[in-house]
């Protein structure tokens, strides 16, 4: 129970593979594991992380570990299609998965494959071996639940990180649009004889379609020696940044 509490409270996951290794070592004595995924890949294709054990554990972001990427070579194996139908951890003979033999598992005859359920499908797995302990002694149901729980938390944390990043980008863009819109306002040093001009502009949010302009009109100045001023108050249909962009286009016209 303490371990579950620790998992639910971890908001960093700077090395998610190490988190999975700690879970495995709670049941094994000297585990070695890697994350395999077939997310967004063609049939019979998969990617795999480097293996993690107590001596060496590569550091990947949660997104890299869960979804792979261009830095991971694409492997081929028919067994992946069978794995997609798994609902329960299984022991496999590595002789049936020859591709994995090339990936640091030559010393092992058996491994455990733990399917990871995400969004109703299995496209990710943990492949796990142990140097000493017999696989027969492992409670696979418990191990599978712990792994899936941990990965659910890792995925939730990664989604929150991406959402925070997107919000930061949106706030930055809105701030820039608001700054540009403020440049459309009349200059504060406008001076018209015998006239006082004051205005206050405040968008409901960062930016919008409200528009204000006061400017000298040179149309009659030379011909009639008359200085004319014009004012315009407008509101672009719609709300938010798109309306602010249209207001800037209107100002340019």
Q: What is the pLDDT of residues 115-137, one digit of tens each?
A: 998 888 899 999 988 766 555 66
Tell me the pLDDT band of 151, cut-offs 50, 70 and 90.
confident
Phi/psi for 87 (5° steps) reads: -120, 0
Q: Cα–chain-centroid distance for residue 48?
A: 20
CA pair distance 107, 131, nearest whole angstrom:
9
Phi/psi for 195 (5° steps) reads: -140, 140
pLDDT at 221: 58
Average pLDDT over residues 182-200: 77
All CATH 3.30.450.40 domain ranges in the chain, comma separated: 2-158
Q: Is the pLDDT of residue 43 over 80?
A: yes
Q: Is the pLDDT of residue 206 over 80?
A: no
Is the CATH number 3.30.450.40 carried by domain 2-158? yes
Mean pLDDT of the chain, nearest integer: 80
pLDDT at 3: 58
pLDDT at 211: 82
Which residues neighbour 39 within 8 Å (Cβ) at sequence distance 6 or greater? 66, 67, 68, 123, 124
Give the ranges where the chain is alpha helix by DSSP (H): 2-9, 16-27, 62-67, 79-83, 98-101, 140-182, 221-224, 240-252
Q: Rounded to two decimals, what is the model's pTM?
A: 0.65
Q: Cα–chain-centroid distance for residue 220?
A: 59
């Amino acid at each position: 129970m303490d371990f579950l509490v620790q998992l639910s409270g971890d908001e960093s996951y700077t090395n998610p593979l190490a988190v999975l290794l700690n879970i495995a070592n709670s049941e094994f004595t000297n585990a070695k594991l890697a994350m395999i995924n077939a997310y967004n890949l063609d049939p019979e294709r998969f990617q795999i992380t480097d293996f993690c054990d107590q001596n060496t554990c590569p550091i990947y972001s949660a997104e890299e570990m869960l979804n792979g990427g261009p830095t991971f070579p694409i492997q081929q194996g028919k067994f992946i299609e069978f794995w997609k139908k798994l609902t329960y951890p299984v022991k496999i003979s590595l002789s049936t998965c020859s591709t994995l033999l090339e990936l640091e598992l030559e010393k092992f005859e058996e491994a455990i494959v733990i399917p990871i359920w995400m969004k109703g499908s299995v496209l990710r797995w943990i492949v796990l071996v142990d140097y000493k302990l017999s696989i027969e002694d492992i409670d696979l149901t418990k191990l599978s639940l712990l792994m899936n729980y941990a990965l659910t938390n890792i995925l939730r944390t990664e989604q929150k990180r991406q959402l925070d990043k997107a919000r930061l980008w949106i706030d930055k863009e809105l701030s820039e649009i608001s700054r540009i819109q403020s440049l459309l306002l009349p200059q504060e040093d406008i001076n018209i004889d015998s006239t006082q001009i004051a205005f206050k502009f405040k968008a409901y949010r960062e930016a919008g379609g409200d528009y204000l302009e006061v400017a000298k009109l040179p149309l009659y100045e030379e011909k009639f020696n008359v200085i004319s001023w014009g004012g315009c108050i407008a509101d672009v249909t719609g709300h938010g940044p798109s309306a602010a962009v249209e207001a800037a286009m209107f100002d340019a016209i």
